[in-house]
């Protein structure tokens, strides 16, 4: 494109080699997960907000993968932050609600009920014309499906409420209607004033892929609570997305911040998206019949590539909280020089998914899986 600003892509740090061999054994992954978890608690989860919600769910999935009960520290956090008044003025405040639902204690059930009441009654919650919950008035973002949709789906499963479960499926599909690119199958970050901005942000794709997987896993557990047509529609769309992502993945496993390597962002790597997408790809193999083998191979590359960036329990090269950018260059200048809670949480999702996948067979090294990579 004429006038492209290549200052970020030209000076991007080279990729690290992905983990392989002994670094991907079960013992090594469990140890790495413990380091990430301990670092996260040490640094703190200060707010009842979206980063904390991503972390809490990652901790729960990690505990499940290693065969442990619900993490006591998560329950303690929910008790501490659920007391008294909560600031509830944005859909991102629903993100810790998924952990509250999965906790299942009466105190956490009451917290989840408060969150649902806000979502169903607050004038702060606006919708697009097709029913998608807006992230901001006039804008639909991929983030919302993970932050708010998962809360609704899991609460519906716990209550046996088909309407709430169906709402997760409906939110995923209405978001996909706006945000999934028909030509490529990839997702854009969001829309502005009713127009989808053509920036294929990596973490947006991770939010949508993980949201789809959580919904499809729920559908397997409780087929009585879902609409079969919605389930099939989600399967079809997410399979197309993940296949497209596998085709544009670099051999080292970590996509650029915009996954199609738009010139101003090519080589500006973003690890939290790779961690989330790797987790979704490995989990999708169990809930999307006929999924192409390239997706599972890409999942292992993404997990091995992303986790290579864990230093002393912190996932590095994680982009900071990112508002919708109206031009691609905007994504190339988001800071990535400090740990972020969503990076910690998505790293735990990746570890958990790799451990679960190893239950059905040996890990695929990034080198072995790299044969189908684009470069």
What is the C-alpha separation between 36 and 203, in angstroms, rounded? 19
pLDDT greater than 60 at residue 361: no
Helix (H, G, I), strand (E, B) or coil at 180: strand
pLDDT greater than 80 at residue 52: yes
Q: What is the mean pLDDT of the chain?
A: 95
N residues, the chain: 375
The token duo for 50 is 């979206």
- Residue-number span of the structural domain to which 26 is assigned: 14-372
- Sort 192 into a burial class: Cβ within 10 Å, 0-12 / 13-18 / 19+: middle
Question: 109-122, pLDDT tens digit by residue?
Answer: 999 999 999 999 99
pTM of the model: 0.95
Q: Is 109 a member of any domain?
A: yes
pLDDT of res. 363: 41
> CATH no. for residue 121?
1.50.10.10
Q: Is 82 a member of any domain?
A: yes
> Out of 1-10, 105-114, 164-173, 277-286, which region has the weakest mean confidence (pLDDT)?
1-10
pLDDT greater than 50 at residue 21: yes
DSSP per-residue string spanning 82-108: HSS-----SGGGGTTHHHHHHH--HHH
pLDDT band at 360 (very low <50, low <70, confident <90, very high): very low
pLDDT of res. 369: 44
pLDDT of res. 373: 46
**Rounded average pLDDT over 156-162:** 98
Question: Is residue 212 within a helix (H) or strand (E), and if so which, with residue range?
Answer: helix 202-221
**Rounded average pLDDT over 161-167:** 98
* Residues of the chain above pLDDT 90, percent: 94
Closest CA to 9 of 271, 260, 264, 337: 264
Provide the domain count of the chain. Answer: 1
DSSP per-residue string spanning 273-317: HHHHHHHHHHHHTTTSTT--HHHHHHHHHHHHHHHTTEETTEE-S
pLDDT greater than 80 at residue 233: yes
What is the C-alpha separation between 99 and 212, in angstroms, rounded? 18
**Rounded average pLDDT over 257-273:** 97
Strand runs labelled E in the chain: 191-192, 195-196, 310-311, 314-315
Non-local (6+) Cβ contacts of 71 within 8 A are 59, 60, 63
Furthest C-alpha separation in the chain: 59
pLDDT band at 359 (very low <50, low <70, confident <90, very high): confident
pLDDT of res. 374: 44
pLDDT of res. 375: 37
Helix (H, G, I), strand (E, B) or coil at 201: strand
Question: 199-221, pLDDT tens digit by residue?
Answer: 999 999 999 999 999 999 999 99
Q: Is 161 a member of any domain?
A: yes
Helix (H, G, I), strand (E, B) or coil at 167: helix
347, 272 contact by CB (below 8 A) = yes
What is the C-alpha separation between 275 and 283, in angstroms, rounded? 12
What is the C-alpha separation between 266 and 103, in angstroms, rounded? 41
pLDDT band at 2 (very low <50, low <70, confident <90, very high): low
153, 218 contact by CB (below 8 A) = yes
pLDDT greater than 80 at residue 125: yes
Q: Is 4 a member of any domain?
A: no
Cα 49 to Cα 52, 55, 118, 331, distances in angstroms:
6, 10, 15, 23
Name the residue with tokens 């083998």.
Answer: 293
Name the residue with tokens 């497209």.
Answer: 244
């Amino acid at each position: 494109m004429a006038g492209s600003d290549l200052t970020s892509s030209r000076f991007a740090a080279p990729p690290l080699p992905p983990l392989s061999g002994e670094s991907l054994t079960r013992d090594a992954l469990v140890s790495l997960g413990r380091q990430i978890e301990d670092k996260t608690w040490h640094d703190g989860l200060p707010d009842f907000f979206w980063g904390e919600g991503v972390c809490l769910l990652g901790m729960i999935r990690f505990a499940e993968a290693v065969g442990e009960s619900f993490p006591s520290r998560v329950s303690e956090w929910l008790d501490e932050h659920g007391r008294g008044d909560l600031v509830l003025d944005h859909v991102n405040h629903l993100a810790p609600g998924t952990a509250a639902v999965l906790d299942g204690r009466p105190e956490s059930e009451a917290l989840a009920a408060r969150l649902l009441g806000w979502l169903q009654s607050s004038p702060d919650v606006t919708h697009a014309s097709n029913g998608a919950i807006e992230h901001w008035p006039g804008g639909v973002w991929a983030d919302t499906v993970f932050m708010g949709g998962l809360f609704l789906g899991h609460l519906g499963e716990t209550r046996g409420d088909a309407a709430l479960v169906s709402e997760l499926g409906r939110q995923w599909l209405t978001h996909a209607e706006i945000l999934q690119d028909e030509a490529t199958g990839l997702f854009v970050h969001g829309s502005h004033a009713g127009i989808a901005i053509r920036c294929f942000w990596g973490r947006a794709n991770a939010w949508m892929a993980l949201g789809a997987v959580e919904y499809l896993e729920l559908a397997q557990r409780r087929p009585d609570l879902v609409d079969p047509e919605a389930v099939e529609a989600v399967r079809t769309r997410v399979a197309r997305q993940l296949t497209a992502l596998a085709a544009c993945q670099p051999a080292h496993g970590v996509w650029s911040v915009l996954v199609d390597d738009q010139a101003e962002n090519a080589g500006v790597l973003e690890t939290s998206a790779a961690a989330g997408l790797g987790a979704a790809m490995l989990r999708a193999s169990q809930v999307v019949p006929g999924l192409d083998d390239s997706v599972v191979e890409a999942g292992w590359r993404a997990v091995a590539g992303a986790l290579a960036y864990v230093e002393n329990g912190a996932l590095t090269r994680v982009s900071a909280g990112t508002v919708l950018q109206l031009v691609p260059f905007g994504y190339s200048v988001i800071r990535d020089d400090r740990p972020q809670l969503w990076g910690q949480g998505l790293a735990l999702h990746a570890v958990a998914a790799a451990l679960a996948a190893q239950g059905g067979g040996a890990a695929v090294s990034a080198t072995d899986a790299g044969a189908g990579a684009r470069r």
